[in-house]
Amino acid sequence: MTLTDDIRSQLALQAIELPSWAFGNSGTRFKVFSTAGTARDPFEKVSDAAQVHKHTGLAPSVALHIPWDKVDSYADLRKHAQDSGVELGTVNSNTFQDDDYKFGSVTHHDDRIRQKAIDHHFECIDVMNETGSRDLKIWLADGTNYPGQDSLRARQDRLADSLQKIYERIGDDQRLVLEYKFFEPAFYHTDVPDWGTSFAQTSALGDRALVCLDTGHHAPGTNIEFIVMQLLRLGKLGSFDFNSRFYADDDLIVGAADPFQLFRIVFEVIQGGGYANPDVAFMLDQCHNLEAKIPGQIRSVLNVQEATAKALLVDTEALAAAQRANDVLAANTVFMDAFNTDVRADLAAWRETRGLPADPMAAYKASGYQEKIEADRVGGTQASWGA
Amino acid sequence: MTLTDDIRSQLALQAIELPSWAFGNSGTRFKVFSTAGTARDPFEKVSDAAQVHKHTGLAPSVALHIPWDKVDSYADLRKHAQDSGVELGTVNSNTFQDDDYKFGSVTHHDDRIRQKAIDHHFECIDVMNETGSRDLKIWLADGTNYPGQDSLRARQDRLADSLQKIYERIGDDQRLVLEYKFFEPAFYHTDVPDWGTSFAQTSALGDRALVCLDTGHHAPGTNIEFIVMQLLRLGKLGSFDFNSRFYADDDLIVGAADPFQLFRIVFEVIQGGGYANPDVAFMLDQCHNLEAKIPGQIRSVLNVQEATAKALLVDTEALAAAQRANDVLAANTVFMDAFNTDVRADLAAWRETRGLPADPMAAYKASGYQEKIEADRVGGTQASWGA
Amino acid sequence: MTLTDDIRSQLALQAIELPSWAFGNSGTRFKVFSTAGTARDPFEKVSDAAQVHKHTGLAPSVALHIPWDKVDSYADLRKHAQDSGVELGTVNSNTFQDDDYKFGSVTHHDDRIRQKAIDHHFECIDVMNETGSRDLKIWLADGTNYPGQDSLRARQDRLADSLQKIYERIGDDQRLVLEYKFFEPAFYHTDVPDWGTSFAQTSALGDRALVCLDTGHHAPGTNIEFIVMQLLRLGKLGSFDFNSRFYADDDLIVGAADPFQLFRIVFEVIQGGGYANPDVAFMLDQCHNLEAKIPGQIRSVLNVQEATAKALLVDTEALAAAQRANDVLAANTVFMDAFNTDVRADLAAWRETRGLPADPMAAYKASGYQEKIEADRVGGTQASWGA
Amino acid sequence: MTLTDDIRSQLALQAIELPSWAFGNSGTRFKVFSTAGTARDPFEKVSDAAQVHKHTGLAPSVALHIPWDKVDSYADLRKHAQDSGVELGTVNSNTFQDDDYKFGSVTHHDDRIRQKAIDHHFECIDVMNETGSRDLKIWLADGTNYPGQDSLRARQDRLADSLQKIYERIGDDQRLVLEYKFFEPAFYHTDVPDWGTSFAQTSALGDRALVCLDTGHHAPGTNIEFIVMQLLRLGKLGSFDFNSRFYADDDLIVGAADPFQLFRIVFEVIQGGGYANPDVAFMLDQCHNLEAKIPGQIRSVLNVQEATAKALLVDTEALAAAQRANDVLAANTVFMDAFNTDVRADLAAWRETRGLPADPMAAYKASGYQEKIEADRVGGTQASWGA
């Protein structure tokens, strides 16, 4: 099977947003290892992100995390991005690193702290207005570690109230996207633990409130592509945070742990009309604890592209015919034929027709950028989560 | 801590519906062991269920499963139940044992089979009208075993359409309760795998469509009491299927695997207004593969009663105070104080004041009923799932 | 990357044993669906198995299950197999379907029942002597459903004692292979739940006692290839039961749920010297609940072959070099390059050079065998587990 | 059921070692919250640990973690401990926070780094000789994040070699205890992921090499008490790290997530002869991310004591009789009768007879110690993992 012109046209529409924080150091509670050349400020992070787009043509925007990416002038940062060939994208709030949020942020029983968390989101909306961002993405670390620690119900009601206040503040062209997560950093309950909760909460807000699905945020064994299908069906899938995992929220390179699962997810995106649809944003949200960061992001967007090419190769007519015949093996074979196809050479050739390097990993390596940043970025403090 | 008069009054309101099929044989795909004295028809099952109520006062009704409990005259069965001291309750449909349903029932792409499945539910509603049942409980085995086998989305749309037709048929005083299950018997995807799907589907139907939460039907690690809280908050918790599990849907005696979890679940039921609330039905849905069936059901309802007594013992004022103070250990201690209290002696004494045996397990054993059914029920075919 | 002559030579050594029971009906506790043409006795099962070998050249032997495959004359069955182009292989015991085994077999506290279970294994050894089988494979359903039901320790000691008695009976050229399983049909504890237990128990017996690794018998998230590596390192990997799963022991077609995992497993087999090594037996142990059985087995052995071809393609020198350089991305890329290669066309071409059909699935379909058995096998009772 | 004299005597023998690091700050990769009064050096940590023993009589020793607890004079630290009423206990090595260990420590392919890691253990043995410690506990963060990153087998062989060198250095009265962990901080494979690996590796070393079982380090659903039974049976259970979890290695207060599981574990310890047996060390290894640290440790040892009292209450004769009769419900009831008993009042009364406070939590609160350390420990850097 080869990539048809139609598939090539489809592929040309792919855009995956990169997280600025992927270019800073990250790690585990045991250790954050540092790496030579790591960016020290949002400008350097954006420069690094632009390298990914330069070599792949797949990553035209960069998501920010406030306060990690606070700068004096967002106009300057925006200009720096545009000069580098990318745009600023989604703004992510952060209500999990201030001492006040030890026991909750937008769900906190203390009105002062809850308002502080709401105000932080207002600040994020202000940033969005300066950066031209459409989406406010909210991931909450809120939860409890012990049964009885707090009222599950009261927290849920306070969550609804806080979200309402934030939602009222976003502009008509802006969206609130609520991420869910099974557990961590809370270890007994999490206030937005599953897609059902995010769906119920955002449905109560309105049409511009949507669900963010992070592929690493589910219970073991969860059929993620089913959730993709369901959220698209319900008109509530706002965005993806791509990454992969073997165990918990491992935040590995997307497609690294289970490339077949990534293929199935992208297939459902396409079937449900979520592909090349501006209403569904594709983002990475990964950590590169051990591997090189810029090549790690290049590898990631290529993995998504390969999965997409394969998913577009599925012979949906033959698939439907086999399904109608209840021929389980035939239907599965049609599906697997696409997955088993090696699309890499075709993609490399096509990439060259678009003025991109056939092998983006090699091109980056040959570019000298890595050596340059390792030489230049001496002194200062490398960016990290600052946990 | 002892049971106050208020708690005793609350406990007096408890009612747990028993599943008729718990009195037939059940097992695993490897073997169904038979047991002496097992009921051979719906009348005998109802008689057995009545024994549980007689000794505990906790189980005034029996759920039916069609076609397992098909009889010539439901009026006769109803009279038999009432003569035995119990009522007929929820009617459960079954669309997983006819060869036609090999690839789906209400989600099937074949209109004929889908209509057959819908018609089966109409038949169940007819039974409900004869038995005086309020709830039609729908658990679907629908799903697929292999990626590509069928369209997840098309099935979901057909599910919605079929449920709509069934919903339109139920009476104004009747309810449709849709159960969800993580997996089994389908091993790739299940058409109603999580509470979010059941919530979305029943919300689309109307107010008399609600969610059934089976405590054994979740992914590993799922915080079930959170879902209880959320469904009560959303006004969509229609009923419980109680059982317990260490691994998958093990269908063990409720409270046997994790009594603390049962306590937390019941606590959330009470906090959310779901206790002694006719809108939330409590049912068992268990298998007694190895243990004696009637005593197994007695043990089960007692486990729920003990968990309820403990949950009612939680000092909610002290709890709220500790929560407001962010005193994690104090809040957890208040919660655990209730759980750690041994309520058995108090419950035994209170039971006697209500004309019930102090020790229902011993009372059943002493009653001679077991010896009688083992002697009487010779010949015939013992009831089972007939898998 | 293409298949080198060396890889072709390696592939020519591949042999995967088929389970006779894959050609009978199987299902779940909810329903066993029957299929037209299903074998009705061991002779017909062997005939069906021979079809798989005929079209793939990969499956030269058939495992038996006693008593499911009891026949009057094993000599006749052996001759029938050989006439059909295959051999009889591993003999599997069954101590989970007799009423006596309700509470255990070789671990039972009742000496009579334990001896009965041991005697059953002696009978299996007698069968092995007639069929010329080398391996006695023991999978035990033994376990408990409730804490306290029995003594974990006493059962483990009785297990050791029973295995010792069985081990003493096997011939010098025979082996005892002990399978482990995480759970099911026991739901609280299983007497051989993990590789550690099987390793400890077989180590206590002697060199001809080994571990059987069933790829579906692990806790969620378990790194199975690590266990493969470890057992090979310890010299204790006796055999594989291949299948795949998304949730529990789903018994799906090997490679269907996670083809990348199958690739990783086979890679460790090769690295550890377990490939084309007579000491490590490769078997399937799957259920075809919904899909066609003979094509299901053909698909399965092809999946293993494709994974093997890919694993043999790994450039181990480049891999080692990247590993030595701590270049995580480069090492992973070398690994993935092999997995991402589409080996199907090469395998088809090579198959033809060996007198085999390029497309075994199509060849079986075109052979008319399926139509023939559907027409011939009318009447009688289709083979199944008889649960 | 009440505590008999025999049970009281048994309880008097209980000793649980505390981890020094529980008295420093800990957190998640997202945030480490600080708490007023947190210890700033090993001396203050030991002082805090002594408070737990003072109020409970249960925690006579403190485990050290090198280099977190490096001091100029271990003699001084030992004297400080003894003056405070406790002893120094197990020494824990740390090979996960030096940049050299980014890709492994005792498993690293680089001889220099591997020797450095071995040397670190030699240093730990030197510390043990000064502190009078018996046990060297080794928990390794070694592993990989991506398939192909390193050779699973070569790492395992290097692990064996390194352990051998370390084992040769420990004294005749000292022990090497090897901990296993399912995952984290490595996210693809961990070099000692399960009890089987620790068992195989320590068996190869000799009698003074044993397994450490951390109750939070298993796959979802794992029956931990089975492993306890098995390791005791094999004579290889060296120590426990107690904590509890709902999801991954949450490191919550032992018994907080599943008190029934803790009861089952302690029951198997007792049945297997591991209780009050100097060969089996009981330790806590927890994090108090949100809750107060000293009271958190007091709560923890009390939880273990309560579980122990209940486990000692099991009527083992009645249990064995019910087991022999295959009376599943009766056996389970005997087991649950002990668990359901409220032992807190009895324990409080007995505590007073031993000169201990009836309510250790209240006694600590009333002691003024917390206020004192919050006032005194101003300035300096609070102890933490320094991740």
- Please answer yes or no on whether B328 and D260 come within 8 Å at the CB atom: no
Residue in chain C lying closest to B146 (CA): C256
Residue D336 has pLDDT above 70, yes or no: yes
Using a CB-CB distance cutoff of 8 angstroms, which residues of chain C are in contact with residue B252?
Answer: 145-146, 187-188
Report the C-alpha gap between A245 and B195 in whole angstroms.
24
Q: How many residues does chain A have?
A: 387
pLDDT band at D387 (very low <50, low <70, confident <90, very high): low
Question: Which tens digit of pLDDT belongs to each residue from C141-186?
Answer: 999 999 999 999 999 999 999 999 999 999 999 999 999 999 999 9
- Please answer yes or no on whether D306 and B260 come within 8 Å at the CB atom: no
The reported pLDDT for the residue numbered C387 is 65
The reported pLDDT for the residue numbered B227 is 98
Q: Chain C interface residues facing chain B, Cβ-Cβ under 8 Å? A: 26-34, 96-97, 99, 102-103, 141, 145-147, 149, 182-185, 187-188, 220, 245-248, 250, 252-253, 256-257, 289-291, 385, 387
Question: pLDDT over 90 for what percent of chain B?
Answer: 98
Question: Which tens digit of pLDDT belongs to each residue from D273-284?
Answer: 999 999 999 999
Q: What average pLDDT does the structure give for chain D? A: 97
To test the contact with chain D by mutation, choose from C230, C258, C336 the residue with the greatest count of D C-beta atoms within 10 A, namely: C230
The reported pLDDT for the residue numbered C207 is 98
Count of CB pairs separated by less than 8 Å, B with C: 117
- Please answer yes or no on whether B324 and A152 come within 8 Å at the CB atom: no
Please tell me the number of Cα atoms within 13 Å of A277 on its side-chain side: 17
Residue C327 has pLDDT above 80, yes or no: yes
Please report the ipTM that was assigned to this predicted complex: 0.97
Residue D203 has pLDDT above 80, yes or no: yes
**Least CB–CB distance from D141: residue in A30, A141, A187:** A30
The reported pLDDT for the residue numbered A386 is 76
How far C1 CA sits from the closest chain D CA (Å)? 18
How far B135 CA sits from the closest chain D CA (Å)? 32
Whether residue B26 contacts residue B272, with contact meaning beta carbons closer than 8 Å, is answered with no
Q: Which amino acid is at B230?
A: Q
Distance (Å) of CA A226 to CA A207, B107, B196, B221, C6: 22, 15, 11, 19, 43
Q: Kindly report the backbone phi and psi dihedral angles of residue C9, in degrees, each rounded to the nearest multiple of 5, phi listed first.
A: -65, -40
The reported pLDDT for the residue numbered C2 is 87
Question: pLDDT over 70 for what percent of chain D?
Answer: 100
**Least CB–CB distance from C229: residue in D103, D153, D222:** D153
Report the C-alpha gap between A105 and B7 in whole angstroms.
35
Tokens 């980014």, residue located: D102
Those chains having 3 or more beta-carbon pairs within 8 angstroms of chain C are A, B, D
Distance (Å) of CA D275 to CA A188, D91, D118, D195: 30, 22, 32, 20
Residue in chain B lying closest to C183 (CA): B247
Residue D248 has pLDDT above 80, yes or no: yes
Which tokens go with D166?
A: 């370390």
The reported pLDDT for the residue numbered B8 is 96
Which tokens go with A303?
A: 């993995």
Residue D1 has pLDDT above 90, yes or no: no
Using a CB-CB distance cutoff of 8 angstroms, which residues of chain C are in contact with residue D103?
Answer: 326
The reported pLDDT for the residue numbered B387 is 65
The pTM for the full model equals: 0.98
Using a CB-CB distance cutoff of 8 angstroms, which residues of chain D are in contact with residue C152?
Answer: 225-226, 229, 268
Q: Kindly report the backbone phi and psi dihedral angles of residue D240, in degrees, each rounded to the nearest multiple of 5, phi listed first.
A: -110, 140
DSSP B154-202: HHHHHHHHHHHHHHHHS-TT-EEEEE--SSSS-SSEESS-SHHHHHHHH
Report the C-alpha gap between B369 and B23 in whole angstroms.
14
Kindly give, in sequence order, each residue whose CB lies less than 8 Å from that of residue C288, ignoring residues fewer than 6 positions away: C22, C26, C253, C296, C297
Q: What domains are defined for chain A?
A: 13-307 (3.20.20.150)
Which tokens go with A247?
A: 């165990």
Residue C113's closest CA among B288, B38, D316, D326? D326
Q: What average pLDDT does the structure give for chain A? A: 97
Residue in chain C lying closest to A292 (CA): C329
Local structure of residue B212 (DSSP, 8 states): E
Strand partners, C91: C64, C136
Report the C-alpha gap between A67 and A65 in whole angstroms.
6
The reported pLDDT for the residue numbered B1 is 82
Report the C-alpha gap between A137 and C286 in whole angstroms.
44
To test the contact with chain B by mutation, choose from C254, C290, C293, C384 the residue with the greatest count of B C-beta atoms within 10 A, namely: C290
The reported pLDDT for the residue numbered C386 is 76
Question: Which tens digit of pLDDT belongs to each residue from C31-62?
Answer: 999 999 999 999 999 999 999 999 999 999 99
pLDDT less than 50: residues of chain B = none
Question: What pLDDT tens digit does each residue of chain A (387 aa) get?
Answer: 889 999 999 999 999 999 999 999 999 999 999 999 999 999 999 999 999 999 999 999 999 999 999 999 999 999 999 999 999 999 999 999 999 999 999 999 999 999 999 999 999 999 999 999 999 999 999 999 999 999 999 999 999 999 999 999 999 999 999 999 999 999 999 999 999 999 999 999 999 999 999 999 999 999 999 999 999 999 999 999 999 999 999 999 999 999 999 999 999 999 999 999 999 999 999 999 999 999 999 999 999 999 999 999 999 999 999 999 999 999 999 999 999 999 999 999 999 999 999 999 999 999 999 999 999 999 999 999 876
How far B327 CA sits from the closest chain D CA (Å)? 7
Q: What average pLDDT does the structure give for chain C? A: 97
The reported pLDDT for the residue numbered C172 is 97
The reported pLDDT for the residue numbered A387 is 65
Whether residue A255 contacts residue A303, with contact meaning beta carbons closer than 8 Å, is answered with yes
Q: Kindly report the backbone phi and psi dihedral angles of residue D96, in degrees, each rounded to the nearest multiple of 5, phi listed first.
A: -130, 10
Residue C323 has pLDDT above 70, yes or no: yes
Mean pLDDT of D37-42: 97
- Please answer yes or no on whether B250 and C291 come within 8 Å at the CB atom: no
- Please answer yes or no on whether D146 and C264 come within 8 Å at the CB atom: no
**Least CB–CB distance from B259: residue in D220, D256, D260:** D260
